A and B are shown apart, each in its own frame.
Chain A
Amino acid sequence: MWDLIILNPFTNILLWIYNLIGQNFGLAIILFTLLIRVITWPLNAQQLKGAKVMQDLQSDKEWLDIQKKYAKDREKLAQEQMRLYQERGINPFASCLPTLIQFPIIIGLYQSITRALAATPLTLLQLARSIYPFMNASTIIPLNSHFLWMDLGRPEGLSFPGGFTISFLPYGFPTLAIIVAVTTYLQTKLTLPPSTNPNDQTAAMNSMMSIYMPLFLGWLVLNYASGLAVYFVTSNVLGIVQYAMMGRVNWRNILPNRNQSMPSNVKKSK
């Protein structure tokens, strides 16, 4: 079911783009990621809008009052919160639903890249069965997996001219891992929502996420096909661009030792 609805169509679109642009798989990944971003743009926008409404509510006087008043009565607190949602016409799940819908799309994109790279006999056999008959698979395989200095089917390691590598690393110079980590850090920092509440646990979590997530993705890139790194970098850059176009980027957040600031179009509650 998953293969039929998500994975096979995604794989074929990716390969179709690959063929269309002259069999450059790196460029195909970038364009495919862009295409998915464009398609999911309304969902992202809805998610951001929903998140902003919820965030504004956190600093609303009435909201803060009921938090204080019913701090010891959870049931009553929940009832009052629901009342407030209804009065203000707020759907508390408005920011979650688009994320849930996007999740299988992102997983499908990720899996289709892995499948198309077909680095093992079993994955090549799976790829052969995924390709629609009109695509003429025999002309597509083997995929040209070379892009810039990378072989997209293998973990990246950049050797310098003359075969120089960094001896203490089990890899070549981890250029892509660094780029992925940096762009992930930038995206997380730039898109962190502002918090006016010093005890805001979500803000604390977000702050930690901005450190752990780049390291985690950097580690992934060191160990998996570099085609995935191209996807991560593209996705991060497009994410920043989308936030910027919606006026939600906090450029000052990337500077060290600065308090999180409001984006230009967000006004503090008084």
Chain B
Amino acid sequence: MKQLPLLSFIFLSAILISACSSAATRGSSWPGLTADSNNVYLADGQFIYAARLSDGSKLWQYPDKAGAQQFFAAPLLTPDSQLIVGSAGTDQGLISLDPMTGKEKWSAPFTGAKDRWIVKPLVINDILYAPNNDGSLYALKLASGQLLWSMSFGNPLWGTPVTDGKYIYLTSLDHFLYSIDPQNQKIVWKVDLGGSATSSPALSTDKSTLYVGSFGSKVLAINDADGSIKWTTNTNAWIWSDPSINGSKVFVADINGQVYSLDASNGQNSWSSIKPDDSITGSPLSTSEGLIVTTESGSVYSLDSNGKVIWSASVGGKIYTAPVVSGNRVLVAPLGAQYLLYAINQKDGSMLPWHFDGK
């Protein structure tokens, strides 16, 4: 009994220091969304959820009970009907799930990486290219998760790779955009972006130009054949999110909350004062009506081609990650809101009559 005060002190210290070290699991989360025509898949905190788009009812969750896993990366739906999810927890596993049941498909998760998975991988044919926070790009057999090769870039990789079918384009926190030939695992070229890049490049529809933003507060258009810079446009603050291409326009948003509409041919900005209510870290989403942007203050905006607000909706909490569209629904996953997932009518911004709370 004499030890009770001391044990209480140590217990309280453990709670205090743990609280200082990392916020509560959901509080430090970074929700990621993916949807097909019927279902939505949400990576949030310690779980992956699947829910029906028709009514928001839960299909399954993975894992059944919270463990060492934590999920930041948006789930990836592959052409052969797998749902690939990467853990940002201490297990550092890359896992294949059955999108219908949430059961694991590979015989075991891939655990060969040295750090957490921050973003979703890329699939080309039957190979998965997965960037990891340990600075390496891992190539795995899609069917089994077996490691084929890995390439080290030294610094954390937080951008999903993109491809033109032949080469892989990959950003790194080391300030560079890399063009990689996956056939021989060689770097074809690399371009200094003037700052770290957490986003993926956007590839033009003719696959000739890559558009990418960086913490150097600039957007660059890069010739994908040789890495030469076509144009550079400065922004007022860091670019965290992916650019979005719509016709001849490239849309980007900075972390101060300003939205830019850049001419794809010369980088000229035609929206000089479009600034919704808060910081933007979720990638803007081009739609047939214009652009959907989400802000940290939990708001969703639909903008027309002139940047005029068509509608706005507030879901509460903080929205850090990109919205997705499925059918006429805009789906957003805020952090710290009443529900994990909200569905908004894309036409008028009205809230659809369901919310997903993970239960």
Binding site for B on A (CB under 8 A): 107, 110-111, 114, 119-125, 128, 137-139, 141-142, 154-155, 201, 204-205, 208-209, 212-213, 216, 220, 224-225, 228
Query: How large, as a class, is the contact surface on chain B?
Result: 35 or more
15 residue pairs from A and B, CB less than 8 Å apart: A114-B20, A114-B22, A120-B30, A120-B118, A121-B158, A122-B30, A125-B281, A138-B194, A138-B216, A138-B217, A141-B196, A142-B173, A142-B196, A216-B13, A225-B21
The distance from the CB of B119 to the nearest CB of chain A, in whole angstroms, is 9
In the bound complex, CA of A205 to CA of B14 (Å): 18
Interface string of B1-44 (1 = CB under 8 A from A): 01101110010011001001111000011100000000000000
Contact A121 B215 (CB under 8 A): no
Q: Which residues of A contact B10 (CB under 8 A)?
A: 212-213, 216
Q: Identify the interface centre among B7, B10, B116: most chain A CB within 10 Å of its CB.
A: B10
Given the known interface contacts A128-B255, A142-B156, the answer about A121 and B320 at a Cβ–Cβ threshold of 8 Å is yes
Contact A142 B6 (CB under 8 A): no
In the bound complex, CA of A87 to CA of B306 (Å): 81
Q: Which residues of A contact B7 (CB under 8 A)?
A: 212
Q: Which residues of A contact B23 (CB under 8 A)?
A: 122
Within the complex, which residue of B6, B14, B118, B155 is in contact with A121, where a contact is CB–CB below 8 Å? B118
Chain A residue with the shortest CB-CB distance to B193: A138
Q: Which residues of A contact B116 (CB under 8 A)?
A: 119
Within the complex, which residue of B22, B72, B173 is in contact with A141, where a contact is CB–CB below 8 Å? B173
In the bound complex, CA of A107 to CA of B21 (Å): 10
Residues B70-110 near A (CB distance < 8 A):
72, 88, 90
Chain B residue with the shortest CB-CB distance to A225: B21
Contact A205 B20 (CB under 8 A): no
Using A121-B118, A137-B215, A205-B5 as known contacts, list a sample of 6 further A-B pairs with CB atoms less than 8 Å apart, ordered by residue number in A.
A121-B72, A122-B28, A155-B90, A201-B2, A205-B6, A208-B3
Whether, in the assembled complex, B204 has its beta carbon less than 8 Å from a beta carbon of chain A, the answer is no
In the bound complex, CA of A179 to CA of B158 (Å): 33
Q: Which residues of B contact A212 (CB under 8 A)?
A: 6-7, 10
Q: Which residues of B contact A213 (CB under 8 A)?
A: 10
The distance from the CB of A119 to the nearest CB of chain B, in whole angstroms, is 8
The distance from the CB of A61 to the nearest CB of chain B, in whole angstroms, is 28
Within the complex, which residue of A107, A125, A205 is in contact with B255, where a contact is CB–CB below 8 Å? A125
